[in-house]
Every structure is written in structure tokens, then in C-alpha cells.
Amino acid sequence: MIRLNSSIKFYSSVGLLFVAVFTMTLSSFEKAPDKNGTLRIIFINTANGKPVILRDSLYVNAFGEQYSISKLKYYISNVLIPGSGQLPENDSYHLLNAAEANNNFELSLKEGAYNAIQFLLGVDSLRNCTGAQTGGLDPTNDMFWTWNSGYVMFKLEGTSSSSAADLQRIEHHIGGYKGDNIVAKLIHLNFPATQLLQIKEGGTTQLTIELNLDNYWKNAVEIKISETPLCMSTGILAKKMASNFPGLFSVKSIQSKP
């Protein structure tokens, strides 16, 4: 990178960049339309190797603490398939909710074989402070803090005999988008070399990503229900809990359908 000495230089560089992007956009219009296929991304939630079923099963974390789950909701945004030449999805914020039957969304992707996927667990900082939103970010989804603006990025509620909180509650509303309090995490998952993500024109490829709650309690840090039954505001605790986020996800399967 050239060191920019003056704002004029800076703006002219930005100008050049715009021209470059514009030209690229133009040339992409001139080309024959891309051959696109569909990538369907499915999120499944598991604990103790079993699918998470709300208000039903009991699970045990790494510290022997039993718990049940009544709510599990989280945002997935800024999905990017490296090598596809496509920018992260624009304006797409997917609210995954274990209470819903279909926890999936679809992207249109250029034909090809890809070796990784990247996404943000959470909502980027900019979108946390740009006013009233709709779709997955609609405040009616009960994922927006009204008294201290910002999205709850990950919400887990349930009960546990290890919880000393009222009604033996577990209530984890993890959010924060400013400076030291940012909890959103960029997740990068590689596909095995033997099983790349194949996208064929007109076909649908199904990518299943597993969120393993076992790693929610113990991974980079230890989160014991006995010590932390509640986390409902931004700050040091939320940030600590979010440091387990990157370990939550793994690629479960890739299936191509013609």
C-alpha cells in the first residue's frame, strides 16, 4: 500500500477505487450472465450429540450441570463464500430460531467448487445504529434492546437446577456492538479437501452447519451455570461468553442435488 500523505491524495485514491469498481461492474454487465446455482444453508443445534428440542430434553454441560432450553435464537449475517467473487450478502440478516421448523436460508452462487464459508455470528456494528430495521432485524423479533440500543446477537434461555437465579432461570442475552463491548464473531469454516462445496448451474447444494452447545459452556472459556445463570447486558461478562462463539460451529454435511 502507498502511504497516503494528504487528504487530496486519499480522496483521489478513493476516486480511482470507485472508477475501478465501476468499471468492474460495467464489465460484469457486459459478460454473459453467470451460471448460478443455489446454496441452501441449514443450521442445526445440538447438545450432548442430540438435537436441541425446546422445553423437552435435559442436557448436561462439561461441569455436570443439567439444563433445559426454552429459547435459542441467534443472528447469522455477512455470509461470504471465499473465491466466489461475491461480496458478503448485502442487507441480509438471518435470525435463526430453534422454535421455527425451518432454520435455513438460500444464496445464489456462481458455479464452482469452494473450500470455505465465512459468516458473522451477530449483527455488524454499523447496522446496530442505523435506525428502525425490518425483516430479521425487526424489533418485533424480540432481539433488540430498547433501553440501551443494540441487538441481542445470541439468546439462550432455559432452566437448570444449578441456577441460583429466580425460578432457576438461565437467561443469556448476549449483545454489544461498541468498542470494547463488541461480541459479534467472524466464523470461518473450511470444507474438507475431499468434499468441496460444489455449486452446479440450476442445482441446489445443501450445507448443514452444526451449532454444538457443548462448546457454549466450555471451549475458550468456562461458563458455569452456577456462576453465570444470567447475562443480560453488554460488557465484560457478555464479551467473555462470546469468546466461546467461534468454537460453536462445524460443518456437518454437504449434499448436492442436481
Partner 1 sequence: MLFSALKDDGYGAYAPDPLFLKIPPGWPKPATNIFAKNKLTEQGFQLGKKLFFDGRLSKDNETSCASCHQQFASFSTYDHDLSHGVHNSFSTRNAPALVNLAWMTSLHWDGGVNHIEVQPLAPITATNEMGEQLDSILIKLKKDTVYSRMFKAAFGDPQINSQRMLKALAQYTGSLVSSNSKYDKVKRGEASFNAYEQNGYEVFKARCTGCHKEPLFTDNSFRNNGFALNRFKDIGRQQITNNKKDSLKFKVPTLRNVQVSFPYMHDGHVFSLYQVMEHYRAGIIITQPTLDSSLKNRIPMTNKEKNDVVYFLYTLTDSSFLKDARFAPEQIVMRKYSN
**Of residues 90-119, those binding partner 1 (CB under 8 A):** none
Q: Which of 119, 108, 104, 113 is nearest to 195 (CA)?
A: 113
Question: What totals of helices (H) and strands (E) does the chain contain, helices first?
Answer: 3, 16
**Of residues 52-71, those binding partner 1 (CB under 8 A):** none
* 45 part of the interface to partner 1, by CB under 8 A: no
- CB neighbour class for 10 (10 Å; exposed up to 12, middle 13-18, buried from 19): exposed
Cβ atoms < 10 Å from Cβ of 173 = 22
CB of 136 to partner 1, least distance (A): 12
How many residues bind partner 1, per CB under 8 A?
A: 21
Task: Indicate the residue among 138 and 210 with the shorter CB distance to partner 1.
Answer: 138
Grid cell digits, residue 134: 425490518
Q: Give the C-alpha separation, 97 to 105, whole Å.
A: 12
Interface region with partner 1, contact rule CB under 8 A, candidates 30-38, 101-109, 115-123, 135-143: 135-143
Amino acid residing at 89: E
Grid cell digits, residue 29: 454487465
CB of 108 to partner 1, least distance (A): 24
Interface region with partner 1, contact rule CB under 8 A, candidates 134-142, 161-169, 199-207, 246-254: 134-142
With H, G, I as helix, E, B as strand and everything else as coil, classify residue 206: strand
Interface region with partner 1, contact rule CB under 8 A, candidates 51-59, 146-154, 200-208, 220-228: 146-154
- Of the candidate residues 13, 23, 28, 148, the single one contacting partner 1 (CB under 8 A): 148
* 249 part of the interface to partner 1, by CB under 8 A: no
Task: Indicate the residue among 2 and 132 with the shorter CB distance to partner 1.
Answer: 132
Rg (CA), the chain: 21
Asked if 16 contacts 4 with a C-beta cutoff of 8 angstroms, the reply is no
CA atoms in the 13 A half-sphere facing the CB of 21: 7
Interface region with partner 1, contact rule CB under 8 A, candidates 10-18, 103-111, 132-140, 159-167: 132-140
* 149 part of the interface to partner 1, by CB under 8 A: yes
Task: Indicate the residue among 139 and 202 with the shorter CB distance to partner 1.
Answer: 139
**Of residues 167-186, those binding partner 1 (CB under 8 A):** 181
- Of the candidate residues 37, 136, 150, 229, the single one contacting partner 1 (CB under 8 A): 150
Q: Give the C-alpha separation, 72 to 55, whole Å.
A: 11
Instruction: Please list the alpha-helical segments (H only) found in the chain.
Output: 7-30, 214-217, 236-242
Q: What residues make contact with partner 1 under the rule CB under 8 A?
A: 128-134, 138-140, 144, 146-150, 181, 233-236
